[in-house]
Structure 1
Amino acid sequence: MDILRFATAGSVDDGKSTLVGRLLYDSKSIFQDQLDAVERASLARGDDRIDLALLTDGLRAEREQGITINVAYRYFATPKRKFIIADTPGHLQYTRNMVTGAATADLAIVLVDATKGLTDQSRRHAVLLGLLGVPHIVVCVNKMDLVGYSREVFERITAEFTAFAAKLPTSHVTFVPISALHGDNVVTRSPEMPWYEGGPLLHLLETVHIASDRNLVDLRFPVQYAIRPRSGAHRDYRGYAGQLAGGTLRPGDEVLHLPSGITTRVAGIDTMDGPLAEAFPPMSVTVRLADDIDVSRGDMLCRPHNAPAAVQDLDLMVCWMGERPMRTGATLLVKHTTRTARALVRDLRYRLDVHTLHRERGVGELRRNEIGRVRLRAARPLFCDPYSRNRLTGGLILIDEASNQTVGAGMITGSAVPVE
């Protein structure tokens, strides 16, 4: 079975954690002791029913305030597919946590409260999901029970979101009317909405096609670690460990090493379970090469005639997460795949208004949770692809040199200037 990684998104109190809890509960993916603990916690808070949101909101501050702060990861499986859920916060101040949870998602569920319609935070999250290149978006219009399961309300919100999403780089959007509290259209179809012709949310999650979303054309293998035992029976072993970011790899394949430009062949592909005949994303493997060349962390293996651009001038969209604003002239650390380099902020080209998608030019800074287009100059070449082609080699994080905290996430637009 394959694995679907999906994230929740949306505004505050739209019911993201309740939906995840309902999915786990109705799909019988909760142990009895977990359910008993949630029931006790619900009674202690004075609730008249089990609060399924407590299955993901595990921090004390989350339970006291009834909000999600941290990204909560949960795992469950059905006979058709395995799932990894990232339940993300809806509050504006925790937008950076939402970006973290959605960055590796195959699909995102955007919750919209049927009684409120689209909010500013709903739009902000939709913009971020588009920039993060999440291939599939499911808009769940929640709390349909509070609007009498009205078809008109659902269609109005559907039309509003469709018009907004038309301006975003999002390819596949599906709409489902649900009530996470009562389980309508979550795991089984709801008799309350006979006018809805689609399947329940879980059926959609089980059947959405994700295999073609991964780039299996461009071989990209960023080297994370060189393995060379110094003693023992395997002291002559030399392998290079990492996660395959694109393409497929087989023993005997010709590969190009960057930055040296030396061509060699793959002698073998190893894992803890033994050798492989083929590797593909997102597998983590150790590659042995036929020739003894100098390969270290931050290097990359690719095809001789299909190499990423060696880039120092980076043009990218940035979601800024730092407490202090990003300003022109600032220096940061850039972490791209397994390579780290210092970088200078050369230019803030514009800031994106997430409500209107208007480009505000002439801005002097990017403040926390703002999105803008930025030009950086890296101290050494990075081996990049456009984010739209490969999310792993086209994405990076920005790190504050003094505190070592992550202060931004960047998506390379494709107009970076290769090193000559």
Structure 2
Amino acid sequence: MVKVSIIMPVYNASRFLKMSCESVAKQTLKDVELICVDDGSTDDSLEVLNALNEKYDFIKIFSQKNKGSGYARNTGMNKAQGEYIAFLDADDIFIDDDALEKMYFYGSKNDADIVCGNLKRIRQNGDIETNYDFKNTKFAYFNKKDVVLPIEYGIPFAFYRNIFKREFIEEHGIIFPDLIRGQDPIFLANALANTDELYVLRTDLYGYNHSVGGGVNIKVNTYEKKIAYIQHFKNTFDILKDNDFEGPFAAYKREFMDYILFQNNLYDEDIRKAIHEVFSDGINKYFSKEDYGYSYLEMIVNDEEDNDFDTFAEIKEYLIKETLLNDNFIDVNYLREYVKLLEGNEDNIPLLEKTSINKVKEIETEVNEDYEFLSENYESLNDDFNLVKTKYKAERAEKEETIKNEITEEINEKTIEEPQEEENRINKFLKTIKHFHKE
């Protein structure tokens, strides 16, 4: 009988598959199956899996068109035969060799719906990151065998450090949602909301290869991914709020605000558009005026305009332009008005910051437009310049020749009475030519 089914979505991860599969082979629990779902890889992942399948008989391979990791995991769960289900991404590993064995027998003995272990970060070669503080994360670290309430888990991150009873998953219809980003927290939030207790123990099950995927902003880099990621927050809010997970709900709202107020996201029009669309029915179900970032979020959702911000923007534009022109003094009246508006909007600093960056962008746009015009018309402008230059040279040469001829004629017509007079005439001629060249 299969005790644990391990679900592994695979997409273009050929260089990590040997490491991840070997970590399964090292587990002391041998009654396992590793269900690998190739999600339309375009590299040689499938070939590597087939080669590993010849070495390890616990590997089962399935293929599908590219539909995302959540869909691949759902496919794997449908194929699973184990009493419990574990998850392993293709670039990650299991750390403690006896982790699955400890977790399975602890769960089986207590008929547990969910058994929780711990997670650590690893480098791409599989070494553990020693500088990562795995004990102080946004989700709980378990330092002893215990039974805790689901609300004590923390925010629903790192679902893969847990194993789930397959019967429990199927009974409650817990699957990964059809989102291209943010599926994992929704899956785990649903699981936590449908059980009464978590069986936890101190074992390092999961090694997360953080450096491969990178941070959220690297993964969430298109409008489609951004709106899916914003949608996952709302879906997770609903689960946590409806099941009275007050602490995790508050913490996840903070996670959301940290994401949208992150410096690189604060001025991202795609994120603003996604928020406006996802929360089109309002934010008051989830946020109150006392919540961190409420005014900024309300402005996005309601498309509110504020004259104070318009005035601030105009003043900021003036100050920026005056600052760029180093030889100008800044009008003190503008500075006073700027400070006054700033002091009157302490709760709306993100909005004021946005007006600042928008003005910088507008100035940058103006400069770029001028530069593009000059670049596009360079040849024409250069031709015009050369034409004017040639015409000027011709006119100058003609004028020089006229002056020389006039002086020569005058010299020839008159008798030179004294050498000094002749010398004066020559000097006058030279000065005239020199003065003309200066012009």
Q: Which bracket does the TM-score occupy, shorter chain normalised?
A: under 0.3
Q: Which has the higher helix share?
A: 2
The TM-score, its normalising length taken from structure 1, stands at 0.23
The TM-score, its normalising length taken from structure 2, stands at 0.22
Q: Which has the higher strand share?
A: 1
